[in-house]
């Protein structure tokens, strides 16, 4: 874990995004070109991790939105006692750490913040699950360490019950 102190700011506070490079062009482009307008339009809430002191340079970010889960993507255990229609969820559509900070624990800081924001949101707006959209196998393995399970059918999306996540991070 890095000794640096961090804070989250909404992308609308205009942190410095120009040098951000996580190694995946799709995630870099989203942050630099689309995240701000999507945040303002209510299509996805993006929060950027910046140092508490010094220049507000983006070290990482995550984007959350509301979603729903089709039952066919859930395991038999996850479908148990659910209605026969899609259930509400929170989607962690994007999470990325700048290459300079990869391997320092910032991915976990970003994920915990996204989960905490989701847990707060579901106190007012129902959601049974949190969905994450992993961009590659390495990202899938990262999320699985925190209890996320692959969707049925082999996509790169994973799912975890909000109640499970509450317990995991309440400790």
Residues labelled as active-site residues:
143
From the number of C-beta atoms within 10 Å of its C-beta (0-12, 13-18, 19+), residue 28 rates as middle
What CA–CA distances, in Å, run from 171 to 16, 127, 148, 164, 167? 33, 21, 18, 12, 7
Angle between helical axes of 106-121 and 162-170 (0-180°, round to 10): 120
CA 92, CA 121: separation in Å to the nearest integer? 13
Instruction: Provide the token pair at 119.
Output: 């847990």
Instruction: Provide the token pair at 124.
Output: 């007012």
Query: Is 103 strand, coil or helix?
Result: coil
């Amino acid at each position: 874990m890095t000794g640096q102190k961090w804070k989250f700011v909404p992308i609308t506070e205009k942190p410095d995004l120009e040098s951000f490079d996580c190694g995946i062009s799709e995630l870099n482009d989203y942050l630099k070109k689309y995240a701000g307008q999507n945040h303002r339009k209510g299509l996805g809430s993006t929060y950027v991790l910046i140092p508490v002191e010094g220049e507000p340079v983006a070290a990482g970010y995550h984007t959350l939105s509301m979603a729903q889960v089709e039952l066919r993507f859930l395991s038999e255990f996850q479908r148990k006692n659910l209605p026969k229609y899609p259930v509400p969820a929170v989607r962690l559509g994007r999470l990325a750490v700048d290459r300079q900070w990869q391997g320092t624990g910032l991915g976990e800081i970003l994920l915990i913040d996204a989960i905490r924001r989701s847990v707060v949101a579901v106190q007012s707006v129902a959601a049974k699950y949190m969905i994450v959209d992993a961009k590659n196998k390495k990202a899938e393995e990262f999320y699985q360490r925190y209890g996320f399970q692959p969707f049925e059918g082999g996509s790169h999306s994973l799912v975890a019950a909000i109640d499970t996540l509450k317990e995991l991070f309440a400790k």
